[in-house]
Amino acid sequence: MLVASSSASAGALLRHVRTGRARSRAELVALTGASRNTVSARVDQLIAANLLAEGGRGWSTGGRPPTLLQFNSRAGCVLAVDLGVTSVDVAVTDLSAQVLATVGHSIDIADGPRPVLAEVDRLAQLVLADAGLEPADVCAVGVGVPGPVEHSSGRPFHPPIMPGWHDFPIPSAFGRYECPVYVDNDVNVMALGEMGAAGSVQDVLVVKVGTGIGCGVIVDGRVYRGAQGSAGDIGHIHVTTPDGRLVTCRCGQENCLEALAGGGALLTDAVAAGLPVRTTREVVERAAQGDGAAIELVREAGRTIGTVLAALVNFFNPHRIVVTGGVAQAGVPLLAGIRESVYRRSMPLAARALEITVSAAPELSGRIGAALMAIEGFLDEESVEQALAR
């Protein structure tokens, strides 16, 4: 049964077709409560703008079968940039976030914004060429960065692991595309990627465990950023260790969650335990392959992370928690540690139906999320109205 929606703007009608809530003019009329003439006129505008297309016939409930409407996901493309501490991935997708081409490369975020973003620009030109596209085809750009961001301006704000990036206007690096550029914290971007193009109406915590630790907060299917855009920065919550040890975090504080259970801490603990490893990735790979010492280190990191997540579960009462990021590729050991602490420390009612899972594709969620952020910005109601007016 379709429930009437308050808006019948062209942008709202497009969103309903894009997300599968309506497949015909008749369903749009039922969903919005608008008149048939109003809906038809706006659908015709969207078809003329190449954003919708007609295709095939639906089932008839009496009378002529309805003509089905389809979103034209090839009406343009977006660039998606997943910027990490030691690597960057750039993809070009269509307007349904289907990856058309992608490439990755090692970087050092500490090199500063100009050389790093110059490399991003080089990779962006490569993926466009691979997909047979031109800069003029790009409708929007989405960028995820590993630090706090003022979302409205796209400028990082005192990011602890991005020296030299404070207040840098990241959108200015994409001027050649002459299109909107959207920038957000990488965990919020990953959270969008986990929700997928179809979206969700659930309350979800998406926890990234990599070099740093962060949390994307999804409320009713939408990213919650807080008053200044810093919601979910759980990596700098203080954690008391059972043995009373003190570890200094990169932010200058002691015993931040990230300093005790992030990728860097995992590598430090592995070396101290005598494992022959040089990178966090090697620790994660050994755990995934069944190395007993590596498994216990990852599980202990999961327990530490779980103590913080248990407090969030009691406070926020989410439907589910999704764990992503490089360390999440260890799989079961990390998940087991997190579940152990969360289910032991959370209130029974909050944890009764709680799902805790590892992302099905942690290596892709950043790029998909960056694409979805760009697509949602480009195709929001106001932007669609402006485009049709032009």
Same structural domain, 24 and 171: no
207 and 322 within one domain? yes
Low-confidence residues of the chain: pLDDT under 50:
1-5
* Residue 190 resides in a domain: no
Q: Is the pTM of this model over 0.95?
A: no
Domain at 23, CATH number? 1.10.10.10
203, 340: one domain? yes
Residues 294 and 330 in one domain: yes
Same domain, 85 and 162: yes
- Same domain? For 84 and 135 the reply is yes
Domain carrying residue 32: 10-71
**Radius of gyration from C-alpha coordinates of the chain:** 23
Q: What is the pLDDT of residues 160-182, one digit of tens each?
A: 889 999 999 999 999 999 999 99
Length of the chain: 390
304 with 216, same domain: the answer is yes
Residues 262 and 322 in one domain: yes
- Give the pLDDT score at 3: 43
Rounded distance between C-alpha atoms, residue 44 and residue 339, angstroms: 51
Q: Which of 42, 71, 100 is the last residue of a domain?
A: 71
pLDDT reported for residue 64:
67
- β-partners of residue 325 are none
* Cβ atoms of 65 and 59 closer than 8 Å: yes
For residues 242 and 284, state if they share a domain: yes
Counting the structural domains of the chain, the total is 3
87-119: burial string, b at 16+ Cβ within 10 Å, e else? ebbbbbbbbebebbbbeeeebebeeebeebbeb
Quote the CA–CA distance of 63 and 166 in Å, as a whole number: 62
Residue 349, judged by CB atoms within 10 A of its CB (0-12, 13-18, 19+), counts as exposed
CATH number for the domain that contains residue 208? 3.30.420.40
Q: Could you say which of 50, 71, 92 is where a domain stops?
A: 71
Task: Pick the last residue of a domain from 71, 88, 122.
Answer: 71
